[in-house]
Amino acid sequence: MIKLIAIFTMLIDHIGYIFFPDVMILRMIGRLSFPLFAYGIAIGMKRTKDVKKYGFRLLILALISQLPYQLVFGTRYFNVLFTLFIGLFSLIILKANIKISIKISIIVGLTLISDLLNFEYGIYGVLLIICFYFCDNNIKLVSSVTILTLVGVIIYNYPMIQLFSILAVLIIPLQKKFDFKISKIVSYLFYPSHLILLWFIEYKF
Q: What is the dihedral angle through the alpha carbons of 171, 172, 173, 179, rounded to the nearest 10 degrees? A: 110
Number of domains making up the chain: 1
Q: What is the pTM of this model?
A: 0.93
- What domain range includes position 39? 1-204
User: 186 to each of 19, 57, 110, 140, 143, how far by Cα in Å?
Assistant: 24, 14, 29, 33, 33
Q: Which H or E element spans position 201?
A: helix 184-204
Q: What CA–CA distance (Å, rounded) separates 80 from 100? A: 28
Residue of 73, 32, 82, 60 whose CA lies nearest to 188: 60
User: 202 to each of 8, 9, 54, 114, 205, how far by Cα in Å?
Assistant: 19, 19, 32, 29, 5
205 residues of the chain, pLDDT tens digit each: 788 899 999 999 999 999 999 999 999 999 999 999 999 999 999 988 899 999 999 999 999 999 999 999 988 899 999 999 999 999 999 999 999 999 999 999 999 999 999 999 999 999 999 999 998 777 888 999 999 999 989 888 888 999 999 999 988 877 666 666 677 777 788 999 999 999 999 887 6
